[in-house]
Structure 1
């Protein structure tokens, strides 16, 4: 084996330019493969980040205004939900799991000499899991079933409200004035705000009693399970509209009467799109890599032709075909492996550098109250793709060397030695 390696290295040194140019085509191919996969991952991670703020399997309903007459009732009716719609979803929608109705009011929250106008949101206990609020044990708790049952005057503050009103002091156990009423702070939500202004959360029944004596509201959010395809979600949406239409007495086909946002369907569609993007960039990268491998194969053909006389002499003195085959395949494998590894490291290094720069840029940006959407994030390549690329290189190196090697071992010694 040492003799084979010495012979190969000597051949590579004699043809430095040819070897370098051949290797660069392999390096470029795998570099493009890694960069394209990294870019696809960055785009996918960035868009999927926008789904991470809430449960991806949530359905949100907003009541609207009828645009069509129905059952003798005229159009233009303002529809509103009541407790019976919440119970109807719990009992009749088999796919439903967590559920939370919601009431919103703008109120001034005051503590001592500090105050501010914020959104007061009356919610049910499941709201925390649906919206993925972050309340660690040292930051108290969220609204619970007893609070809802007893209409307790307790409040959970978003972290930004707590920082504004309490100036770094602990807010837990303190009382804040919401409008003209006092509420006890029982929890702090530390989830980063990506959309709009911060909220304060109170029990749904408390909000109904104080701000909404009619007991009517306009939004219900719940999660579902078992809807895995676009067709299943479309069928579910139609069934849900029919159920709400019978309860609120409107035509289920009247899209103005009830607004349905099926985040599960949007998530499934996004997964399909990015699956296609990943497949596309992978194919492009592999084709680029194949172009480099073809270059290696062509160079090995030239190399075999140049060494035809040498091969004939070796066969004439008794060198077995397997020895010649091994030498040429090993030379091809060394070229593809070394230069392929260089391209692999350069590609991974570039994606990691881009990710580092993006993280540093994000850390240096001020927090905004406006909408913050992520489009590109963490454009790195996982270790699985690196192993895949390595295996491709090994297989390609063997194939690129085998084809000219097989031709070489078929040359008759006397014919080979006649070559100039």
Structure 2
């Protein structure tokens, strides 16, 4: 039942001790604010990293040729390992649990791309049709490359939406002809892909066409593939198998770590998952300690309140107040200070996270590195739950001083100076 007299007394006490109450409430609000903000920032970091690294399928691997650092069978160190079509075909047949595989070639010389009076320098990447299943991107218009494009040597391209903005700012790109090093290619699709920075502007063409008309022989820049249902240990076994197979074909030492560079996204995704879990645990520890400090502040202020009101409590008990009423008075004050402070801390934390999201979406004011920090947010259930826990701990912080107040004997309280 609502006890008006008790609440009047609580507000009267708070008004008499404004500075002390504000400082205590500030410590509690800071605790819940820091917890909410840190949790949101941790989630933002997780979202950013996941978004960035989700450019490639998490069950994928990429192979790049390097340079040897060890002499092998009469071949001096420093030999460049240049992958070719034969490597692609060998790996396609030999890799266990292979899902899809694609190679990427390159175009020698400058990549000058134009349409009418619009020009730009873009990344032109010759690939297989399966590349879209390895590189996560979304087809916005048209389609991606297919098997017929490769078999029939069709001069077609799929362009990124950023490329479309430059070459076709005011018209549809599909079925238009663009010039790549003075050779015309038909645009068959427009896609969007996540990128590390704003300079990612890609164009994909059939690898067979590039190797035929741009005179780059059968050289490959990298080989990418995805695997079916593999553990991290199994993926490392695949790495060793690839290294041994390539060492046999290109005549370099199996122990030469620099001859090939293999990016294992299966292992990387597990590593990042563990890292994010550790970050979230660290955030919880820091936030919890901050809240504990705020609760200690509530405990201290309630002890001071009990000490200052010893004589008043003695008089109250002498005229018939029950221990229960004394305990409830102290508890109500502790819970009120904790709840109000926690609420303001919660609102401030969530508000700051929403403000960050607002400026990111509307004004795009983040620096390029902020791609690693995306959509900071905190689960509403966690936020409310943390506030409830704070109120409960605040009640416990007030309980012990309240119990001490209830145990005061009236005659001793009246003698207190």
| TM-score bucket of the superposed structures, by smaller chain | 0.7 to 0.9
Answering whether residue 185 of structure 2 is matched by residue 188 of structure 1, we say no
| Contact residue 195 and residue 372 of structure 1 kept, 8 A | no
Residues of 2 paired with 1:119 and 1:11: CA distance?
Answer: 70
Number of the residue aligned with 1:368: none
Indicate the residue corresponding to 1:172 in structure 2.
174
Cα shift readout 1:181-224 (whole Å, capped 9, x = no counterpart)? 54332112244663656333222222233335743423101234
Residue pairs, 1:145-156, within 5 angstroms: 145-156=147-158
- TM-score normalised by L of structure 2: 0.83
Change over 3 Å in CA distance of 1:20–1:176 after alignment to 2: closer
State the 1:373 CA deviation.
6.4
- Within the candidate set 271, 279, 282, 2:281 is matched to 279
Q: 1:312 to 1:120 in 2, by over 3 A?
A: closer
1:206 aligns with 2:209: yes
Take 1:228 and 1:307, find their aligned partners in 2: how far apart are those partners?
66
State whether structure 2 residue 121 is matched by structure 1 residue 124.
no
Counterpart residue number, 1:323: 325
Contact 2:311 2:413 survives alignment (8 Å): yes
The equivalences for 1:134-149 within 5 A come to: 134-136=138-140, 139-149=141-151
Residue 258 of structure 1 corresponds to which residue in structure 2? 260
Shift of 1:157: 2.4
- C-alpha contact (below 8 Å) 2:155/2:185 kept by paired residues: yes
Question: Do the aligned partners of 1:104 and 1:119 also contact (CA within 8 Å) in 2?
Answer: no
Counterpart CA distance in 2 for 1:274 and 1:33 is 16
User: How far 1:401 moved relative to its partner?
Assistant: 1.0
Describe the SS at the equivalent of 1:68.
coil
- The offset of 1:398, in angstroms, is 1.5
Q: Give distance in 1, aligned partners of 2:414 and 2:326.
A: 15
1:158 aligns with 2:160: yes
- 1:57-96 counterparts in 2 under 5 A? 57-70=59-72, 75-96=77-98
Counterpart secondary structure, 2:208: helix
**2:214 paired with 1:217:** no
Partners of 2:24 and 2:301 within 8 A in 1: yes
- Equivalence for 1:374: 371
Contact 2:106 2:221 in 1 (8 A): no
Equivalent in the alignment of 1:404: 401
Match of 1:11 in 2: 13
Which of 51, 56, 69 is the aligned partner of 2:53? Answer: 51
| TM superposition score normalised by structure 1 | 0.83
Gaps of 5+ in 2: none
